[in-house]
A and B are shown apart, each in its own frame.
Chain A
């Protein structure tokens, strides 16, 4: 079984094995056969007629679509509701609302991501067992750009199934054959008699009918919603400023908490020196040490709690990391690149000896820093533990499973079981991987168990988020290639040194740890399998540190694609080839990639002359079953100021449900990537993170945001991901553009130094040329 699981799948599996559900899952095939993996059976729930696990039709005809994936800005609620509306044959308008279901139905699980299979292609005994086991264990999470590719087919079937149940109900009511009925705009019409019934009238009868065995799906030629941009269902509330985020939860009798984590990760609370003083501060009810590692203040309002938390004087225990600085961290990456025992992920051909005997070898080292997620909505959770030890949580989270585990971890000693937790997933104010962790939920639950009978809302300050939270790992790579007589690589050797995210996540959250070796995430984007190179070696060296590492938008791709696409440009330069032509030659056997590359080149008018001080750079990657290529245009002024003027992007994300949402994700990913490439770095001094807020961890603003043009390439393939691909090629494209503009090759991120212009504005300037 395990070999069918992705690494991320293994993690999640491990998490559940730590729970209590395994016993239930191994109860035999007979038991598994009873698991409702498709969620197609209907039921009545008071006034609501649920035609299946994914949709409810109210008597007034309004439709509630249950989307068991977190809306964090990517537009997934809209996209999956579009799929349901298409098959249900209703207009996509404001009669549709979307809810994140509180129930942990097996049909909502991410089994397809974990088994790395598309639901529409799923078959065979392993899949049969796997999806039932995984479904039963409540693996519900949003990430890995996987929601559309995983859910579009099941929800399409759910829409079609409901439509057939409505037709069957109408046929019975009118006593006519179903074949004589037609659906349109939420009504069923008997074609010859003109009799008409609304979905709302029929829903209660339809909900009690058996679902059809294999409902016919609407032919693609009849699609009127899928593939045509639709307005996002969540935007009206968002522009009105309605309280849709976790941070906005307001409940009767609620108390508020602020928190302080150790400045050096791993330090424990030795002593709260001035507990009495803090307890005496206005509104304060409690000062609590959580897991021996953090101190929370609970007060009548968050402002009071945060003010009191600033007063806290905490003695932290010494740790081995107390002396660690950024210089020391860089040195560790450097020595890891000299490792004689890295983990070998790919070894095709005879890379070592081909390079040793080659006449032209290109070699380069690259580095990137640690990064926080910096979601605009600071990290928070609200948990309510009732006197009967049932609990309810309201969290802007990527995973109700993580929320349940977090509540159990924080309030488990008080007797709260994960199965007695009601989980409400709110809108997320950005997530980027950060909100898949259970840390803040466990903290809030710990406090809620101490303040039973009152909901506790815990908010981390921005300073806690930037400096004391979770990070994307730093990384370095040593790249080598041997070029053949035609200038193309005949051997490609890539070694990345980084801290394994799997190792760190598992060590924080799971009873089992698969360990850092073979962590696929470390080498995502490093193998460049689409480039035709006969000899290839891909290796990674885990570099442990005290820093807690977490999933971060595009994970390994966020650094490896910068390494590899910079390096390919260096190879092109050594071969005196145009970077586009060079990539075309490398992609000669990959028509899908070539189409995307050519599209972006066309969009950017590659090859047209540019003024002095300006330059263009290109990069491409395959990730999340999509192929994305970008061209960045930069201007470097005489004083070194670098501006990214425009970014062109072509994406083949397979079948696109909502084109405008994919365009928005490319725009957003590019912005995120430009910030990362030019501005973002976390540094360490005496073991602690130096940066603390947006004054010293600068972010892109309107004044330095590039213009962006996006083209969607249609390959006819099924859906790929869109949430992460947009960020992936950006840094490489910009580094290549800076080289084109200046002849300077910058091999570490950020590519520039951020200078302050005034209180809220910055400019990015190339670092001085090293002497």
Chain B
């Protein structure tokens, strides 16, 4: 049994401690937003926030984060359903194409803006290393800046 707080809810998971967090989320908890894309922490489609830090869940054994707070893309929107600022920026810039990788980008961006509210392009390049095969990069960059602007206006 591993104790976790997932999207604000405390729960305990009956999974082997070496099972990656990604598969615990997808298979044991039915949270299908985090995606399997490579399994080796290269593509970032599986990224979730672990205690606020953007983390590739495919290489994170669930036993290694016992007690942690995990936020998936499903946990970013307000309880009433309103999109988070980052999600809204993604809509405003019409970022996704196929959309499979985007939960990972949205999570990574959420963490980036928490730590660096007005990132430069260089800081974005440094922090956001996810892969998008559809090539939505120009819009991702615009959406990150837009989200930063929206947060600054709050």
Contacts and interface: CB of A to CB of B under 8 A. Distances in A.
Given A241-B32, A376-B133, A668-B136, A235 B40 contact: no
Contacts of B103: 241
B94 A239 contact: no
A707 B23 contact: no
A664 interface: yes
Give chain B's interface residue range (CB within 8 Å of chain A): 35 or more
B39 A73 contact: no
A375 to B, nearest CB: 6
A462 interface: yes
Contact of B32 (A72, A248, A670, A761): A248
Contacts of A759: 41
Contact of B101 (A376, A660, A668, A761): A376
Nearest to A726: B135
A647 B29 CA distance: 43
Interface in A683-740: 693-695, 699-703, 705, 707-708
B30 interface: yes
Contacts of A243: 32-33
A241 B30 contact: no
A231 B95 CA distance: 10
B10 interface: no
Contact of B91 (A239, A377, A667, A702): A239
Interface stretch (A206-214, A426-434, A475-483): A426-434
A255 to B, nearest CB: 12
B106 interface: yes
B89 to A, nearest CB: 9
Contact of A702 (B16, B20, B37, B140): B140
Nearest to A238: B99
B124 interface: yes
Interface string A201-244: 00000000000000000000000000000011011101111111
A376 B45 contact: yes
B57 interface: no
Contact of A73 (B91, B99, B139): B99
A377 B98 contact: yes
Interface in B22-77: 23, 27, 30, 32-45, 72-74, 77
B128 A702 contact: yes
Interface string A249-280: 01000000000000000000000000000000
B94 A672 contact: no
Contacts of A701: 128-131, 137
For A303, A375, A670, which residue has the most chain B Cβ atoms within 10 angstroms? A303
A239 B93 CA distance: 12
A461 interface: yes
Given A235-B91, A427-B99, A240 B133 contact: no
A742 interface: no
Contacts of B43: 376, 694, 699
Contacts of A245: 35, 100
Given A430-B98, A459-B36, A695-B40, A374 B91 contact: no
A78 to B, nearest CB: 10
Given A241-B72, A248-B32, A702-B128, A461 B39 contact: yes
Nearest to A705: B137
Contacts of A146: none
A702 B142 CA distance: 11
A231 B133 contact: no
A74 interface: yes
B135 A378 contact: no
Contacts of B130: 701-702
A267 to B, nearest CB: 24
Contact of B27 (A244, A303, A672, A702): A303
A248 B36 CA distance: 10
B97 interface: yes
Given A240-B83, A241-B73, A378 B138 contact: no
B134 interface: yes
A303 B19 contact: yes
A668 B100 contact: no
**Interface SS majority for chain A:** loop
Contact of B40 (A231, A429, A693): A693
Contacts of A429: 35, 98-101
Give chain A's interface residue range (CB within 8 Å of chain B): 35 or more
Contacts of A238: 96, 99, 102
For A73, A239, A459, A707, which residue has the most chain B Cβ atoms within 10 angstroms? A239
Contact of B135 (A660, A668, A693): A668
A301 B23 contact: yes
Contact of A250 (B23, B32, B87): B32
Given A248-B32, A702-B140, A239 B96 contact: yes
A561 interface: no
A247 interface: yes
Nearest to A231: B94
B38 A664 contact: no
A74 B39 contact: no
Contacts of A241: 32-34, 72-74, 103, 106
Contact of A695 (B42, B87, B90): B42
Given A239-B83, A302-B27, A376-B45, A668 B99 contact: no
B114 interface: no
A376 B94 contact: no
A606 B19 CA distance: 55
A760 interface: yes
A660 B94 contact: yes
Contacts of A244: 99
B39 A462 contact: yes
A667 B135 contact: yes
Contacts of B77: 240
B36 A378 contact: yes
B125 interface: yes
Contacts of A232: 94, 96
Contacts of B138: 667, 705, 707-708
B42 A247 contact: no
Given A72-B98, A239-B83, A667-B138, A301 B36 contact: no
Nearest to A674: B135
Interface string B115-152: 00000000011101111111111111100000000000
A415 to B, nearest CB: 31
Interface string A429-442: 11110000000000
Contacts of B73: 239-241
B135 A702 contact: no
A13 interface: no
A671 interface: yes
Nearest to A664: B97
Contacts of A154: none
Contacts of A461: 39
Contacts of B95: 235, 239
B134 A73 contact: yes
A428 B99 CA distance: 9
A430 B135 CA distance: 11
Contacts of B136: 664, 667-668, 671
A669 interface: yes
A644 to B, nearest CB: 12
For B30, B45, B95, B135, which residue has the most chain A Cβ atoms within 10 angstroms? B135
A668 B124 CA distance: 20
Interface of A: 72-75, 231-232, 234-236, 238-245, 247-248, 250, 282, 301-303, 374-378, 427-432, 459, 461-462, 660, 664, 667-672, 675, 693-695, 699-703, 705, 707-708, 759-761
Given A73-B98, A234-B96, A377-B100, 12 more contacts: A231-B91, A238-B102, A239-B73, A240-B73, A244-B99, A303-B19, A376-B98, A664-B139, A671-B134, A693-B42, A694-B43, A701-B131
8 contacts: A231-B94, A239-B87, A247-B35, A376-B131, A671-B137, A693-B38, A693-B39, A705-B138
- 7 closest cross-chain pairs (CB), A and B: A671-B135, A241-B33, A429-B100, A73-B97, A238-B99, A73-B98, A241-B73
